[in-house]
Chain A
């Protein structure tokens, strides 16, 4: 009798002691704030405050008064007082004006043309507050690009383009390597900037065909002209 009782008491004591180890504890005090600190997301606005993209801001319409009429083309702002367009746009021009995306007109003071590439440099008073970033690089094959200009002298239009490799210039018959594009290029698009996805100008459009092909001059030629490796020539009016 003594042994079982002692074992029973021992077991009870052991169980009690063990139970003390698993007794539930009261809840810890509540934290004072359950809302974590969060930084406000930055307001990401595509384009600019006026609804036009940065590419549209730096694309201009070029109006050229000639002896027998007038012509329109496109161009892009290189600096606060310079615009790049095509040589054939300003050829025989007696008066040249550029119009911005919002309708502001500026008269061009002087015009210079490139000897080989179909490029022209227009100089006017320092009126521009924005100009386009540009690079002398060849786009990658099938790279998605965009042409921003004034086809047929009408509304400012952004046209998608795909780079399909270099090809020889047959329009101006110079034989120089120019950028081949798959894009709808119309009259009036001449001189349009060719933008890559980051908004950098990688070429200047100068020709198109009826089957969705386009051509652009690489900025390598522009680089040579701006650094003095190739000399600009003055534009001589035809009349």
Chain B
């Protein structure tokens, strides 16, 4: 490579000297082509492209490294969050189990209480029926007692009337001012027979 043929590169001048403005170099024209002196074809300049490629690679490396670090951090965070949730799930499961046990205990207690209440209600109904029956028996007994006292009073009256009749018949000084002994006797028989009849009816009614 000479100074005239340096492939497009400029020779590096000594330190402190500026680059010379090189004369344009053209490749030889092919035969048959007209020369175009005023419009030479521009050459590509690769030097700036090489500089950008290197920076981009570093940037990419940095981005990838940051992404890796971010992914590692994110993974760690997600693992921590997952662990927290898992722990809370375990706690809730324990609480749920405890509450379920409490519910079961309460249901068993409620069932037992309901059973006891049913038994108490049945006993109360039985006692109520018993009280009602006893009150009724007592009332009927009192009714019968009242009736028996009435019959007893009537029979005492009957006996007194007969005793009075006997006295009249046996003592000539005694007499009935408004009636005769025969009339009184007929009335007494009717009265006393009626009392006895009613008394027998009552006994039959009472099953005695």
Residues of A at under 8 Å CB distance from B? 1-2, 5, 9, 12, 16, 19, 23-27, 30, 34-35, 50-52, 61, 63, 65, 69-70, 72, 95, 97, 99-103, 105, 150, 153-156
Contacts and interface: CB of A to CB of B under 8 A. Distances in A.
B56 A23 contact: no
A15 B84 CA distance: 26
B128 A50 contact: yes
Given A2-B52, A51-B124, A103-B139, A26 B131 contact: no
Given A26-B80, A34-B99, A99 B139 contact: yes
Given A24-B81, A63-B142, A30 B135 contact: no
Given A63-B142, A103-B138, A155 B84 contact: no
Given A65-B146, A156-B136, 10 more contacts: A2-B52, A5-B56, A9-B63, A19-B74, A30-B91, A30-B95, A50-B124, A63-B146, A72-B143, A155-B136
B85 A103 contact: no
A26 B86 CA distance: 10
A70 B133 contact: no
Contact of A153 (B67, B134, B140, B147): B140
Given A50-B128, A102-B131, A12 B67 contact: yes
Contacts of A51: 124-125, 127-128
A93 to B, nearest CB: 12
A35 B60 CA distance: 57
Interface of B: 52-53, 56, 59-60, 63, 67, 70, 74, 77-78, 80-81, 84-85, 88, 91-92, 95, 99, 102, 124-125, 127-128, 131-136, 138-140, 142-143, 146-147, 150
Given A5-B56, A26-B84, A103 B134 contact: yes
A23 B142 contact: no
Given A34-B95, A51-B124, A69 B147 contact: yes
Contacts of B139: 61, 63, 72, 99, 103, 105, 150, 153
A2 B56 contact: yes
B22 to A, nearest CB: 30
A156 B132 CA distance: 7
Contacts of B102: 35
A186 to B, nearest CB: 15
A153 B146 CA distance: 14
Nearest to A35: B99
25 contacts: A2-B56, A5-B56, A9-B59, A24-B81, A24-B85, A26-B85, A30-B88, A34-B95, A51-B128, A52-B128, A70-B143, A70-B146, A72-B139, A95-B146, A97-B142, A99-B135, A99-B138, A101-B131, A101-B132, A103-B135, A105-B139, A150-B139, A153-B139, A155-B133, A156-B132
